[in-house]
Structure 1
């Protein structure tokens, strides 16, 4: 027990060297699943709303087809417990998908966008609003959209919609529009030549940030990112050279001072990572170098969480070289882009194989949705959650000992370092004949697992059994199988033998 108490001094929440940002744990909470892709998440009044392209949901641990409950492209869950809630308005028709969810500032209304013609039994046109109290469809917000709605932002003065559409309520609005809470079209107007995928309001700075797959805005070159005036739609700020040709903005988020961009590049080596900019002056704060089509971002307590299939992050602090794996979740310091030691993972999943598609902080819990079918190598489809603790995950790939003995009674043990999803520094517990004799520590990652060594002094001619375990301070692996070492005397051969 004293040993575990000492080991607990290792921080359970990860941080990069010389930074103090604490991440969530990498251990997923029990979470319901969907039978299709989750595209959007929103949090309001203790409820997480889920939108996507799916027909049913099922409980944690259930396999496809087991214990399924009908939910057509929309579901609601208790944000803290994860319990499925009765709010179950089906969305169907047209593209048969919900792509955008956004709550009003006071959480009284949930706006829903996508490609659908039915909300329950009501005929609609790709955008509606629900009362969060009672989950009832509002009759006053029924705009007629000519095509996909992919993004929604809401302020005290307007509901902004972005997407592929070119007409709203029969009037020209090129891929972005502003409406009142009762669905009337506002004068706000901008000319955008490609789909809008992300909207972010910064009314205190007089801006509405717009991201997507476009090149021209209001007659000027504005590659994938622009800031518009919230009332008129006129361009207020450009971000020249922030994103190269064929790199689009998939998501935007913000904190009090900065905004954060998730980018996807179309083609080999095109910018796929994340960047940060000042909301006020518009200066770039940092830009990372990871490849891997970033789809979602969320910021919490000084940490930027992202969903992508990151690879080749070698030029980003804390990053990794091109290898044989894709990392689908990352955490970075908002101060300097440093990749923090937080590595839960998913597979690419169905659809386009991008894994996570949406992230949302719900209180102290990070919800993630997408097209994945596994989380941390275990079956879990399209939804998962992470929280601040407790840390429940033991280190990965526990070490196995090798050893040799010298003629002077010295036994040298070697092993390959383990790694942990949310702790960089691990402690190795070395036992000789059942007694702890050493507990060295070492930092490691999945892609950097150094060979470690310990030399023990014993009586020449004696025989000993060595075992090793590894702990992150809260969770320890089982002890390894025994390595039996016969320490030779002044004359003789060196001998080692492993036993269970």
Structure 2
């Protein structure tokens, strides 16, 4: 399964550039378009709303269900990245339009914003890109977008751009000067971590993983990781001051590291206990809030939990296809697959107990083979994106939202 210096696993590595699909919502009233950049409506649409008192805590039933599938606006393609920000849902992938429940289409090229509460499209909240979007990161009014593109909102930005959510405009002062695409983003210790297939940043040789100034995109040359292959997933452990990087690499600093490594946030050097792991390319990962556990999703059809203090595997869940996304909320780990689970071909969005790995009974039916590529969850609900058309019988092209 390995050839030359890097892996050539067809199902994982080759498909990392294949965009993901859509999301669904069920609103009793037909959703409409919201917002114009710079207007009061646009600011209301993009500001992070304070949590409602009634949403202070969600009680998740024993099945693990985060709520009901709700119908909303959709997109005409695949969704590869999702992010919940207050009452906003940001989706990225490969599509050209947002689609209203009545079939009306509004231009939204590869990047779009919707309302979590009612599923409505927020017009003008973000500009379009000329290529697929693979990663999203937010802080305050700012949105960082990673992917395989060369222009965003008409400005030249290879692989990475910064957008002001209050105006819908690309930041003119942020340009990392990458030579290739980004598939993972994370914030840590005041920096922006970007992982992907780039080999140069701002004219400096820096392969696969870089730390950038969030304001300007300038390379932090003190952070110098030495990996031999691309990075597809990142997770920051604030407790230990490390970043976990997963992808399709085999060596770090000349020593064997099978697709996962923990690096110092300041220097990028290998630091602390590593995982005693051998498996497929890591497509998604999540560090638990206390930093004592790392969940890995890989293209060997497996979701695993690993102990950070010991480096040992705690549990393993095998699916019928690549495990493409994982997101933890409290004691539950929501994960997305293609190909199904436990002989059930429509089981592509699932949930497991973080402590035991036991997969719960909640499995909304998804008839589309490629399934789920991205998940985000907050106390307000869950959003998933992929190459999908329906979830639990509800139309959900590209993405779906589930609300309590």
Question: Deviation per CA, 1:211-261, whole angstroms, max 9, x where unpaired?
Answer: 0111111211111111111111111146454232xx111111233233221
On the 8 A contact 1:71/1:88 being kept in 2, the answer is: no
Asked if residue 230 in structure 1 is aligned to residue 265 in structure 2, the reply is: yes
Q: How far apart are the structure 1 equivalents of 2:307 and 2:124?
A: 38
Asked if residue 369 in structure 1 is aligned to residue 388 in structure 2, the reply is: no
TM alignment of 1:32-181, pairs within 5 A: 32-60=73-101, 62=102, 66-93=103-130, 96-104=131-139, 107-181=140-214
Asked if residue 24 in structure 1 is aligned to residue 66 in structure 2, the reply is: yes
Asked if residue 201 in structure 1 is aligned to residue 233 in structure 2, the reply is: no
1:409 maps to what in 2? none
2:24 maps to what in 1? none
Question: Deviation per CA, 1:385-429, whole angstroms, max 9, x where unpaired?
Answer: 1123xxxxxxxxxxxxxxxxxxxxxxxxxxxxxxxxxxxxxxxxx
Q: How far apart are the structure 2 equivalents of 1:152 and 1:119?
A: 17
Q: How far apart are the structure 2 equivalents of 1:209 and 1:198?
A: 8
Bigger Cα displacement from structure 2, 376-385 vs 335-344: 376-385
Q: Shift of residue 30 of structure 1?
A: 1.3
On the 8 A contact 1:158/1:179 being kept in 2, the answer is: yes
Q: How far apart are the structure 1 equivalents of 2:60 and 2:157?
A: 46
**Counterparts in 2 of 1:324 and 1:160: CA distance versus 1, 3 Å:** closer
**Counterparts in 2 of 1:278 and 1:135: CA distance versus 1, 3 Å:** farther
On the 8 A contact 1:31/1:383 being kept in 2, the answer is: no
1:430 maps to what in 2? none
Superposition TM-score, scaled by structure 1 size? 0.65
On the 8 A contact 2:351/2:362 being kept in 1, the answer is: yes
Secondary structure of the 1:69 match is: strand
Question: Deviation per CA, 1:31-56, whole angstroms, max 9, x where unpaired?
Answer: 22111110101122432111111100
Q: Shift of residue 72 of structure 1?
A: 0.7
Q: Shift of residue 345 of structure 1?
A: 2.2
TM alignment of 1:217-366, pairs within 5 A: 217-237=252-272, 239-244=274-279, 247-257=280-290, 258-265=293-300, 272-279=301-308, 282-309=311-338, 311=340, 320=342, 323=343, 325-348=345-368, 353-366=369-382
On the 8 A contact 2:71/2:396 being kept in 1, the answer is: no
1:15 maps to what in 2? 62
Q: How many correspondences in the alignment?
A: 342
**C-alpha RMSD of matched pairs (Å):** 2.1
Whose radius of gyration is greater, 1 or 2?
A: 1
Of the three residues 169, 176, 184, the one matched with 2:218 is: 184
Secondary structure of the 1:82 match is: coil
**Counterparts in 2 of 1:292 and 1:326: CA distance versus 1, 3 Å:** farther
Gaps of 5+ in 2: 1-58
On the 8 A contact 1:355/1:371 being kept in 2, the answer is: yes
Secondary structure of the 1:91 match is: coil
On the 8 A contact 1:43/1:103 being kept in 2, the answer is: no
Gaps of 5+ in 1: 1-11, 17-21, 266-271, 313-319, 389-500
On the 8 A contact 2:333/2:352 being kept in 1, the answer is: yes
Question: Deviation per CA, 1:176-226, whole angstroms, max 9, x where unpaired?
Answer: 000112211102111222221001111321210000111111211111111
Q: How far apart are the structure 1 equivalents of 2:224 and 2:84?
A: 29
1:213 maps to what in 2? 248
More contact order relative to length (CA 8 Å, sep ≥ 6): 2
On the 8 A contact 2:69/2:394 being kept in 1, the answer is: no
**Counterparts in 2 of 1:255 and 1:310: CA distance versus 1, 3 Å:** farther
Q: Shift of residue 156 of structure 1?
A: 4.3
**Counterparts in 2 of 1:88 and 1:280: CA distance versus 1, 3 Å:** same
1:461 maps to what in 2? none
On the 8 A contact 1:79/1:362 being kept in 2, the answer is: no
Q: How far apart are the structure 2 equivalents of 1:13 and 1:198?
A: 27
